[in-house]
Amino acid sequence: MIRRTFASALLAAFGLAAVPALAQQNVTKFVVPFPPGGGTDQYVRLLAADLTKRGMQVVVENKPGASGIIAADYVARAKPDGQTILMSSLGVLASNTVMYDKLPYNPQKDFAPVSQIAYQPSIIVGRMDLPYKNIKEMVEYAKANPGKINRGSPGASILTNLAPMAFEKMAGISTTHVPFAGDAPGLQALLGDNIDIHGTSITGPLQHVKAGKLRVLGVMDSKRLPQVPEAPTFKEQGFDIEALLWYALSAPAATPAATIDRLNKAVNEVIADPDFVARARVIGMEPRGGTPEELARFTKAEFDRWVPLLQSLNLPKQAN
């Protein structure tokens, strides 16, 4: 303690004290439940970079695995000072309650809403050498060849797995689900011919689709994606299903309201900037913000929509 005090006094004499400490105190971590390189990770890094340009020091920390449980538990236990923020989604805040026997965090009590940050529709992409080129042809193939399709996803309780599962029940088919710890590993497996199709969003596979290595079989939205206008929606192919992925920021529950409001204001200023919106759309994201109260209402509505549907599928509980 004496040595530390003496060193601090010495640095203070040269005007150097407290600068590193202050910088460290001001750093905010955005914790992403997926590995680096996936679509969500790309977008959060884009947001973090723009916030940093505006004077708020933000870094991204990846804590993948267990359908977001590892990251969510980490943030739920973090000091509620606004410096550790979770990139949350339907899986973390709702679906995990159905998919897992016991969670180390309570999605309805352990987090305080900050803001929505973006949304995009779920899609299914496939290899170029498959004997089907769209969802309608895939359904016909699956019915004629039961058990032949291996389908990847970024995690068991993530919407890009759950929405295809709901669709398969609707269409009367089944695939063999292969979960991955995030989108990037699943796409690599798809490119390596280890799986046939993959439930995802457009952000991760976009470069591979543009390069002619992967094909979008269907879009779970009421309209086609501007990035791949040639890809038909599920509705166009005769299947009435929509499933929008959404992304938000959540803080530890006891975080002061004033701290949340400051972060909310900074985030909403960035995602309203036309230049940021244009860059986000290049990677397939549609920025969307809002107040903490709006996020709370939206999350409850999504919980009430998807949890009963997932319960109706009688899915086996997983251990975390």
Domains of the chain: 29-119+246-312 (3.40.190.150), 123-237 (3.40.190.10)
Q: In what order do the strands lie in the sheet with 176-179?
A: 176-179, 150-153, 197-200, 123-127, 214-219
| Mean pLDDT of all residues belonging to the chain | 90
User: 3-class DSSP state for residue 310?
Assistant: helix
What pLDDT is recorded for position 318? 76
pLDDT (tens digit, 9 = 90+) per residue, 31-76? Answer: 999 889 878 899 999 999 999 999 999 999 999 988 899 999 999 9
What pLDDT is recorded for position 162? 86
What pLDDT is recorded for position 8? 46
What pLDDT is recorded for position 66? 87
Q: Please compute the mean of the pLDDT values over residues 225-238 and round it to a whole number.
A: 95
What pLDDT is recorded for position 226? 87
What pLDDT is recorded for position 7? 41
Tokens representing 75? Answer: 């943030």
In contact, 92 and 85? CB cutoff 8 Å: no
pLDDT (tens digit, 9 = 90+) per residue, 110-145? Answer: 999 999 999 999 999 999 999 999 999 999 999 999
**pLDDT surpasses 90 at 14:** no
What pLDDT is recorded for position 283? 86
Q: Chain-centre distance of CA 41, in angstroms? A: 8
Helix residue spans in the chain (DSSP H): 2-13, 19-25, 39-53, 69-76, 90, 96-99, 135-144, 159-171, 183-191, 206-210, 257-271, 274-282, 292-312
Q: Please compute the mean of the pLDDT values over residues 9-32 and round it to a whole number.
A: 58
How far is the C-alpha of 316 from the C-alpha of 8, rounded, in Å? 57
Cβ neighbourhood burial of 288 (10 Å; 0-12, 13-18, 19+): middle
Comparison of pLDDT for 62 and 14, the residue scoring more: 62
Q: Please compute the mean of the pLDDT values over residues 235-241 and round it to a whole number.
A: 96
Position 26 confidence tier, pLDDT thresholds 50, 70, 90: confident
Position 23 confidence tier, pLDDT thresholds 50, 70, 90: very low
Q: Please compute the mean of the pLDDT values over residues 213-229 and round it to a whole number.
A: 95
How far is the C-alpha of 320 from the C-alpha of 75, rounded, in Å? 17
What pLDDT is recorded for position 99? 86
**pLDDT surpasses 70 at 18:** no
What pLDDT is recorded for position 11? 40
**pLDDT surpasses 60 at 3:** no
In contact, 227 and 154? CB cutoff 8 Å: no
Residue 59 has φ and ψ, to the nearest 5°, of -120, 155
Position 25 confidence tier, pLDDT thresholds 50, 70, 90: low
Nearest C-alpha neighbor of 269 from the set 55, 126, 40: 55
* Other CB atoms within 10 Å distance of the CB of residue 126: 23
What pLDDT is recorded for position 313? 75
pLDDT (tens digit, 9 = 90+) per residue, 274-316? Answer: 999 999 998 889 999 999 999 999 999 999 988 988 888 777 7
